A and B are shown apart, each in its own frame.
Chain A
Amino acid sequence: MNTIQRIPAVFFFEWRRALTVPRLAWMLALMAFPPVLLWLVRATARSEPPIEIAAVLVYVLSPCVACMMSVFLWATPALSSELEGRSWVYLAVRPHGPLSVLLGKYLVAVSWSIPVGLVSSTAGVLALRVDEPVDLIVVQCALSVLSCVTYSALFLLIGVLAPKRAMVMGVLYAVIFEAALALVPAAVNLLTVQYRLRCLLVRWMDFDVSMVRRSDVLREYFGDESATWHVGILLAMTISYLVTAGVLLRYREFTAASETDT
């Protein structure tokens, strides 16, 4: 039995452990806050918001914030929680154990977060009461799935890179790269997940951003590539994050000093 065959064991075990009241409460809170905020926005607006505004509002709150927070809470501490709980050693001495645990926990993070994205996106669009909401719901759900898949791998990698400060590093990365630098129309934003998701939103919603593209400064803000290209890049990023995390797990030594007497 190799790594692939062990992953379901980790997946189902971690899922069972996750079914606790606090975890479910977090999930419900993350599902609820985008539609609640959007409902408040709609309640104070005099008229139905333009589809572009509606799409951006839902996009920011659901695929960006809700999905990112959900995977952040799941994927970032995947390794550090085991190290802090001193349970890593039991997993590390199993054949293919570290990689199986890594990938199993990745799937848990994705499968736990996708419902958050789907529910919050759908409810968010409905809360805005836009005409013909189906297309917008489909796009936001697709973006949510991609967001969960890619961000889970990214935060998992951050957790493996800096297991002792995983949550802090995760927050710093999210704020500096995904919130700040992703909004800078420069080459650096090409490296962010936000840039790809934003480009996909524009493509799939068929927004007219020709005015923005005519600006020298903002030309790189929405990109010129096809949606397929961006999806491919997101999947490639996901795979590269997971492979890097797997290689690090294989070659780094994670035995906590406190676990040893010397």
Chain B
Amino acid sequence: MTLLQLNHVTRLYGTVIGVNDISLSLASGAHGLLGPNGAGKSTLLNLITGQLSPTIGSVRVLGLAPRSSHQLLQRIGYLPGSEGMYADVSAIEWVTYLTRLQGFGAYDAKTLALQALERVQLAEHMHRKISAFSRGMRQRTRLAQAIAHGPEFLILDEPFSGLDPIARHTMTTLLQQWISDGRSLLISSHVLYEIELLTRSFLLLSGGRLLASGAADDIHTLLANVPSEVRLRVDRPREMAAEMLRDNLIDSVRITDDGELHVTTTLSAQLSQFIGQTFLDERYCVTEVRSADDSLQDVFNSLMKIHRGIA
């Protein structure tokens, strides 16, 4: 079943473009929404949750129009980017209240809220006022309100924001459990490694535009001709760079103040072979080589270069 269908969606705030002509179709599963601050991630999530209407185009979530479908709101859970919790109530009161607004009776809502707080490991503290919670506890409470009514599609806006490493780990574990239960997830973040722990399917957004979408491997295919950067620590960087240029192995070269050699190349395999050979020949003393790995950060950086016309 199609989880999300966006058809040429544009959202304007006056003359400012929030999202710009985005079309995509996502199947059920977990997806990451990536982009720097100001990329349009929250605008897109607001469109998906029906808080905003597209200026142009159409949005369908689980086959329904989010702005006009109460039925859809029963089926999604949303964790917004801003905190916005009532500080003067306890976690159980707040989650119960929001679950009641989902349409459950008082008893059922409290039972579901309790289960959700247990799931996020907050049952022990659920009678404490939210104002007394740490950032991580508040974030877990917010997750509890999103999952309490048993949605089939969970939408999270920057859920790791401001969390310490332990809280991040707890949140990641909870979301991994959610995904392993076979439910759908759309999670936005500008910290890429957090997403990589949850999914390999992602959407890259920048300046309101969708730069790329698909699995990480699909994106790598797009990047076949994009120069990748290699950094070396070597005893004679100038001579080595000259040799690389003479052999047409590199596109650009830079030597930093501390003597590190930065080169970009579209011939990664040949360059690797060259470096390995010089090491074997003991022509240069190479102490460190760092090259592009498979992380989304590199993919994202490369796509941004393409988008900005640098690559």
Contact = CB atoms under 8 A, between A and B. Distances in A.
Contacts, number: 107
Contacts of B97: 9, 13
A255 B83 CA distance: 14
B73 A94 contact: yes
Contacts of B83: 86
Nearest to A92: B51
A25 interface: no
Interface of A: 1, 5-6, 9-10, 13, 16-17, 20, 85-97, 100-101, 253-255, 257-262
A81 to B, nearest CB: 10
A91 B53 CA distance: 17
A261 B51 contact: no
A176 B39 CA distance: 45
B49 A93 contact: yes
Contacts of A101: 101
Contacts of B13: 257, 262
Interface string B79-123: 011111110110001000110111111100100000000000000
Contacts of A91: 98, 101
A89 B73 contact: no
Given A6-B100, A261-B81, A262-B18, A17 B88 contact: yes
Interface stretch (B40-48, B164-172, B291-299): B40-48
B52 A93 contact: no
B50 interface: yes
A93 B82 contact: no
B41 to A, nearest CB: 6
Given A253-B53, A255-B52, A262-B39, A88 B76 contact: no
A262 B82 contact: no
Interface of B: 13, 16, 18-19, 37-43, 46, 49-53, 70-71, 73-74, 76, 78, 80-86, 88-89, 93, 97-98, 100-106, 109, 145, 208
Given A85-B84, A91-B101, A260-B81, 20 more contacts: A5-B103, A13-B93, A16-B89, A86-B82, A91-B98, A94-B73, A94-B101, A95-B102, A95-B103, A96-B70, A100-B101, A253-B52, A253-B53, A254-B51, A259-B84, A260-B18, A261-B43, A262-B13, A262-B39, A262-B40
Contacts of A257: 13
Contacts of A5: 103
19 contacts: A9-B100, A13-B93, A85-B84, A89-B78, A89-B82, A90-B145, A91-B101, A93-B76, A95-B70, A95-B103, A96-B103, A97-B73, A101-B101, A257-B13, A260-B42, A261-B81, A262-B39, A262-B40, A262-B43
Given A17-B86, A255-B51, A97 B101 contact: yes
A96 B70 CA distance: 7
B40 A87 contact: no
A101 B86 CA distance: 15
